[in-house]
């Protein structure tokens, strides 16, 4: 191993036990500098969070709550520069366990419907019918994936009822096309990478891929969330 690579891994390992720049120094301004600053400073926390998410997702019914816990930690890291993983994750997991279940059920039904139309589209031979079925399957997959990504970022950040969470997620789904592209891009890249390199990709999926994918999603949603919901709410409270 070259001296350059050895120094890189030594510095990365040292950050695991050091206080970290995110604790002792102010965060950079929003943007790529902050994105990579948090990622590099808290690299080991991303690994710990990935393992924690997998452990809490073993019963499939707990996946929605585990996503809320993971996104809560990632939002805190990006906004504040540091947080206690276990405390934030477990608190959010418990508080949103029942609240997130309806969205998890909706996601399961939506993904199953998408799979059904996609598989039907590849199996029928009638002219035009397979195209319609495939297009409908892809449309459902995209809409459900984007909707759920917004929902599971909103749940741990906004103290709103599910009806309001749903309304805001649908508005963002329609209005925030740039954020939609970022989310679709990172999900597509993660899925294709996992399929292309399977079974070797199981290693990265276990340690890092899921938390990194959700980190990109949380960062992408953070700015429009701050602009459209949080900032107007804070201004209304200040003027009241």
Contacts for 207 with CB less than 8 Å, ≥ 6 apart: 47, 50, 51
Q: What percent of the chain has pLDDT over 70?
A: 84
Nearest-angstrom CA–CA distance, 10 and 17: 12
Nearest-angstrom CA–CA distance, 216 and 222: 10
| The pLDDT value given to residue 32 | 84
Task: Give 7-48 pLDDT, tens digit per residue.
Answer: 544 454 454 444 444 455 677 776 788 999 999 899 999 999
| The pLDDT value given to residue 119 | 86
Contacts for 85 with CB less than 8 Å, ≥ 6 apart: 45, 48, 49, 52, 73
| The pLDDT value given to residue 240 | 55
Task: Report residue 124's pLDDT band, with 50, 70 and 90 as the boundaries.
Answer: low
User: Residue ranges per domain, the chain?
Assistant: 32-99+153-239
Burial of 97 (0-12, 13-18, 19+ CB in 10 A): middle
Task: Give 129-157 pLDDT, tens digit per residue.
Answer: 778 888 899 999 999 999 999 999 999 99
């Amino acid at each position: 191993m070259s001296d350059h690579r050895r120094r890189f891994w030594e510095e990365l390992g040292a950050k695991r036990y050091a206080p970290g720049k995110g604790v002792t120094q102010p965060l950079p301004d929003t943007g790529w500098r902050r994105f990579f600053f948090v990622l590099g400073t808290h690299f080991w926390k991303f690994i710990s969070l990935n393992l924690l998410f997998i452990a809490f997702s073993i019963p499939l019914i707990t996946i929605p709550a585990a996503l809320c816990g993971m996104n809560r930690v990632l939002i805190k890291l990006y906004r504040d520069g540091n947080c206690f993983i276990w405390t934030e994750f477990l608190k959010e997991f418990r508080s949103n366990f029942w609240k997130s279940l309806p969205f998890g059920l909706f996601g399961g039904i939506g993904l199953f419907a998408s799979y059904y139309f996609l598989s039907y589209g590849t199996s029928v031979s009638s002219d035009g019918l397979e195209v319609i079925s495939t297009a409908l399957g892809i449309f459902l997959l995209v809409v459900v994936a984007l909707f759920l990504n917004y929902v599971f970022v909103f749940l741990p950040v906004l103290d709103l009822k599910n009806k309001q969470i749903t309304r805001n997620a649908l508005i963002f789904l329609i209005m925030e096309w740039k954020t939609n592209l970022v989310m679709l891009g990172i999900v597509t890249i993660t899925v294709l990478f996992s399929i292309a390199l399977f079974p070797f990709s199981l290693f990265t999926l276990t340690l890092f891929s899921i938390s990194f994918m959700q980190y990109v999603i949380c960062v992408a949603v953070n700015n429009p969330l701050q602009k459209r919901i949080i900032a107007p709410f804070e201004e209304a409270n200040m003027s009241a």
